[in-house]
Amino acid sequence: MSDERRLLIVDDDPLVGFQLSDILSEQGYAPEAMESGIELLEKLDSVPDNTLILLDVNMPLMNGVEVMRRIDAAGRRPSIVVMTAHASVQTAIECLKLGARDYITKPLDMDLLTVTLERVRERDALAATNSELSQRLEDSATEFRRNQAALKKLAEILRLQSMPEEFPQTTLEILRLTHELFGSELSSISLCVNRKPITYHVPALSEAGGNAELLQNALSWVMQTGNPVIHGKGAATKEGLVNDDFAAFDRSVFLPIRGDKDSFGALQISRGNTATQFTESELELLELLCAEVSVLHSNARLYENYERMTIGAITSLANALRSKDNSTGDHSRRTQIYLNRTISGLNLPKKEADLVSFAMRLHDIGKIRVPNSILNKPGPLTREEWEIMRMHPVWGYDILNSDGMLSEVAVLVRHHHENFDGTGYPDKLKGSDIPLGSRIMAVVDSFDAMRSNRPYRKAIPFEAAIEEIRNKSGQQFDPDVADIFLEGIVAQSAAETVARESQFN
């Protein structure tokens, strides 16, 4: 007899219990009679949830309503049909409020009792199905929301990666996201980048208590063979050999990260022994994350090659300019030192500092379009010649921005002749509207220009050049940048004096 037909009959009259048991067992039920609500309450914990209970209301010691109250207070919801006298419909209603599924009046009509019990069983079965369906719906809605959140976070991570050297860091971010998303106990990613192996674990292996060697072997195997291993299955090579290293990973998923030709990495995540296995849709999401890592890797490589080619071409152009413009070159080493001191004095982050240094090397690249006759004219320029000369920041911008790769450098170059008070060129930007890198370059470049011999004048003395920077602070130059620059110059000059003196001692 299945549990679905279990039936408890609770009636203080043993004869009623006996007769009902007799009749209902013929209808396929498995009845058990008891003579008091107290007995039912004592047994309730061992009664399966889908047991039907036929409960008499009028009983001595404890009536049916009190039994219902206690069951309700215990948080249990068994299927109870109450049996009540004609006169106590009100009592039946009270029982219904306390969770009874239905009621039937005494004296009992056996046909009606049968119909009532069947109806309650059908309703319970339907409710169980509904609850299961809504749980499944809720689970898939949760999974959907989680996947949506993951994709959003992934998009943020991908947007943040702009430089190829950030690829390992971005990969680690993706691993952290994966770890969090899947409630993983230990997550790892192994990659071969520029022929160097990199492996990350979240959390660190020492915290997770993992076996590093075993895990690395498993990751390397997946990377080399390109075979996924799900819950310890799939670890077979084409020759049919099984890799024993996966025996310890029956709660793990290992997926290869595939490149254009071969796999170049592997991702592993694992849940604890008590957790559920990974579902199909979770595996699909993991595949997607692996594919993103692969796209990132190939973008980083493309970007690197392209960047190398572009920077090579631009550097050749800058060298060509140096040979064309007789005035540049002499002070480049010292200018670089002043620039570095100013950048570190302003506490610029490394990426921005590198950008300014690079822009400084290329800031006059637009002069490549200025005719030699103007560039090296041994006398003051005419108004028309100045107009041409003043185009060089825009021409520099155009050259550097031609394919968008050096657009950030291009912007710094464009504004290196803007003045802090808005009287500069080409866009007459003012104050903090001028990029900080351009404001730095303006001070360093002007100082360098004053200290350089020109075809039409000699270099200005060191102290006079310093004085000029101080005088133009707040007009031509950003006062904060000028202060930091001057501090750097004084410190540099002192360092050089000490070095000179120690040479003679």
Decide: helix, strand or coil at residue 454: strand
Other beta carbons within 10 Å of 482: 25
Residue with smaller CB distance to Fe ion, 191 or 469: 469
Distance CA 117, CA 110 (A): 10
For Fe ion, which is the closer residue by CB, 21 or 327?
327
**Min separation Cβ 486 and Fe ion, Å:** 21
Please check whether residue 425 is in contact with residue 393, taking contact to mean a CB–CB distance below 8 angstroms: yes
The interface region with Fe ion, picked from 196-204, 213-221, 336-344, 358-366 by CB under 5 A, is 358-366
Total residues contacting Fe ion by CB under 5 A comes to 1
Shortest Cβ 445–Fe ion spacing (Å): 6
- At closest approach, how far in Å is the CB of 195 from Fe ion? 42
Stretch that binds Fe ion, among 78-86, 99-107, 359-367, 402-410 (CB under 5 A): 359-367
Only segment of 165-173, 217-225, 357-365, 376-384 that touches Fe ion (CB under 5 A): 357-365
Asked if residues 334 and 465 have their Cβ atoms less than 8 Å apart, the reply is no
CB of 160 to Fe ion, least distance (A): 33
Q: Which is closer to Fe ion, CB of 146 or CB of 334?
A: 334
For Fe ion, the closer of residues 364 and 448 by Cβ is 364
Q: Residue 35 or residue 478: which is nearer to Fe ion going by CB? A: 478
Distance between CA atoms of residues 338 and 484, nearest Å = 10
Q: What are the two backbone dihedrals, phi and then psi, of residue 194, each rounded to the nearest 5 degrees?
A: 50, 45
- Asked if 97 and 66 touch (Cβ cutoff 8 Å), the reply is no
Q: If residue 8 lies in a helix (H) or strand (E), which one and from where to where?
A: strand 6-10
Tell me the closest approach of the beta carbon of residue 197 to Fe ion, in angstroms: 46
Smallest distance, Fe ion to C-beta of residue 468, A: 17
Q: Answer whether 393's CB lies under 8 Å from 429's CB.
A: no
Least distance in angstroms from the C-beta of 416 to Fe ion: 6
Contact yes or no for 242/235 (Cβ under 8 A): yes
* List of residues 6+ apart from 267 with CB closer than 8 A: 175, 178, 187, 188, 189, 254, 255, 257, 286, 289, 290, 293
245 binds Fe ion (CB under 5 A): no
Pick between residue 269 and residue 359 the one whose CB is nearest to Fe ion: 359
**Nearer Cβ to Fe ion, position 245 or 364?**
364
Read off φ and ψ for residue 266, nearest 5 degrees. Answer: -150, 145
- Per CB under 5 A, contacts with Fe ion among 361-390 are 364
Quote the least distance from Cβ 454 to Fe ion, whole Å.
Answer: 13
Q: Which of 11, 364 has the CB closer to Fe ion?
A: 364
Q: Which stretch binds Fe ion (CB under 5 A): 1-9, 146-154, 360-368, 495-503?
A: 360-368
223 in Cβ contact with 195 (< 8 Å): no
Tell me the residue nearest to Fe ion as measured from the CB. Answer: 364
The site string for Fe ion over 309-348 (x = CB under 5 A, - otherwise) reads ----------------------------------------
* Residue 172 exposure: Cα atoms within 13 Å on the Cβ side: 12
Tell me if 36 sits within 8 A of 10, measured CB to CB: yes
* Torsion angle in degrees (nearest 10) through CA of 19, 21, 22, 26: 140
> 496 phi and psi, to 5 degrees?
-70, -35
The contacts of residue 167 (CB under 8 Å, 6+ apart) are: 161, 193, 296, 297, 300
Give the nearest distance from C-beta 269 to Fe ion in angstroms.
54
Q: How far apart are CA 83 and CA 110, in angstroms?
A: 12
Residue 124 binding Fe ion, by CB under 5 A: no
Nearer to Fe ion, 158 or 389 (CB): 389
Contact 173, 246 (CB under 8 A): no
Q: Of 35 and 364, which CB lies nearer to Fe ion in the complex structure?
A: 364
Q: Least distance from C-beta 356 to Fe ion, angstroms?
A: 15
Residues forming the site for Fe ion (CB under 5 A):
364
